[in-house]
Amino acid sequence: MSDENVARQGQRVLTDILNFDLDRKTKLVEVYNDILQLTEELQGEQCFLDELKIEFGDFQNLIPNFKEILLEAECPIIIAGETSAGKSGFINLLIGRDILPVSTLACTSTIVKIRNADEILISITPEKGDKKEILFYPDPEPATIQKVLKKYVSLKGSNEETISCKCVDIHVPVPMLKGNTVIVDTPGIGTTANPELTARLFEFLPRAVAFIYIIDAGHAGGLETDRLLSIFEEQRKLKQSGKLIEFDVSRTIFVCNKWDLVEGEEDDVLQHVRKTLSEHWPNFDEKQLFLLSVKEFRG
């Protein structure tokens, strides 16, 4: 299968996941509405309502809050992977725009969120100080956007010191991102020793609509000491502590990038990746794995 077909297939899978999530939320809202309607009809049955409150708490007041959270809460698609695995290039490919700066150096050093919008706007939340917004004129050159972003998301900006940021929000037309869905690009493992960023990844994970993990196929299969194993360990800790994890592992996409670098070793590398994922990722299905060379696809 060609890289172009792989990319399109991955986009279709992600679109199916987003449609499924939206449909599920719509049905849940309908259930909430039916419950509220039923309680209205049972206003004359106070004893019965009191029994329901004993069993389920103050559900009449809680359900409106649940509905608001369900409809307005941010729904992240998390992109993670090891340093220089090609996350930024893959995101550009996924959204069909050369927005994020790409280089052979480690790129992303902060949390980056991409949201669907009519205009292209970058919102920077610094570690200290007030937010800053940069609005671009219609149809800006990709190089213009990347030059600005390098100052805020790269370890080393172009001839400038990178500005320390807590988060960068990129508003750009991406029709695929329906509702409050947002792509969250996380720093690669090895990019930073800041435990706060790793903790924020785990905060996003339970709410994730989908989780896309970029594997560096040119580096021992990309699954030796990277962030994925840290996620495995975090899941074990959550289970051992009795905490529930809401993240649906079946909505995970693994992208084996830089496949062009394993020429002559394809079978060995693919077997290693499949074996590692099967042993560590719950209910891993080979249909979740895609082989791709973002660099070759982009030309």
Residue 159 has pLDDT above 50, yes or no: no
Report, as an integer, the average pLDDT of 48-64.
75
Report, as an integer, the average pLDDT of 274-296.
82
Residue 297 has pLDDT above 50, yes or no: yes
Residue 59 has pLDDT above 90, yes or no: no
pLDDT band (50, 70, 90) for residue 110: confident
Residue 171 has pLDDT above 90, yes or no: yes
pLDDT band (50, 70, 90) for residue 228: low
On average, the pLDDT of the chain sits at 76
Comparing 209 with 158, the larger pLDDT belongs to: 209
Comparing 144 with 161, the larger pLDDT belongs to: 144
pLDDT band (50, 70, 90) for residue 296: low
Instruction: Give a three-class secondary structure readout of the chain.
Output: CCHHHHHHHHHHHHHHHHHHHHHHHHHHHHHHHHHHHHHHHCCCCHHHHHHHHHHHCCHHHHHHHHHHHHHHCCEEEEEEEECCCCHHHHHHHHHCCCCCCCCCCCCCCCEEEEEECCCCEEEEEECCCCCEEEECCCCCCHHHHHHHHHHHHCCCCCCCCCCCEEEEEEEECCCCCCCCEEEEECCCECCECCHHHHHHHHHHHHHCCEEEEEEECCCHHHCCCCHHHHHHHHHHHHHHCCCCCCCCHHHEEEEEECHHHHCCCHHHHHHHHHHHHHHHCCCCCHHHEEECCHHHHHC
- Residue 115's pLDDT is 92
Residue 137 has pLDDT above 70, yes or no: yes
Q: What is the pTM of this model?
A: 0.76
- Residue 160's pLDDT is 46
Residue 244 has pLDDT above 50, yes or no: no
Comparing 250 with 229, the larger pLDDT belongs to: 250
Domain 74-298 is of which CATH architecture? 3-Layer(aba) Sandwich (3.40)
Comparing 155 with 85, the larger pLDDT belongs to: 85
pLDDT band (50, 70, 90) for residue 157: very low
- Residue 214's pLDDT is 87
pLDDT tens figures, 5-36: 655 666 677 777 777 777 777 888 888 888 88
- Residue 47's pLDDT is 77
- Residue 192's pLDDT is 47
- Residue 123's pLDDT is 92
- Residue 242's pLDDT is 54
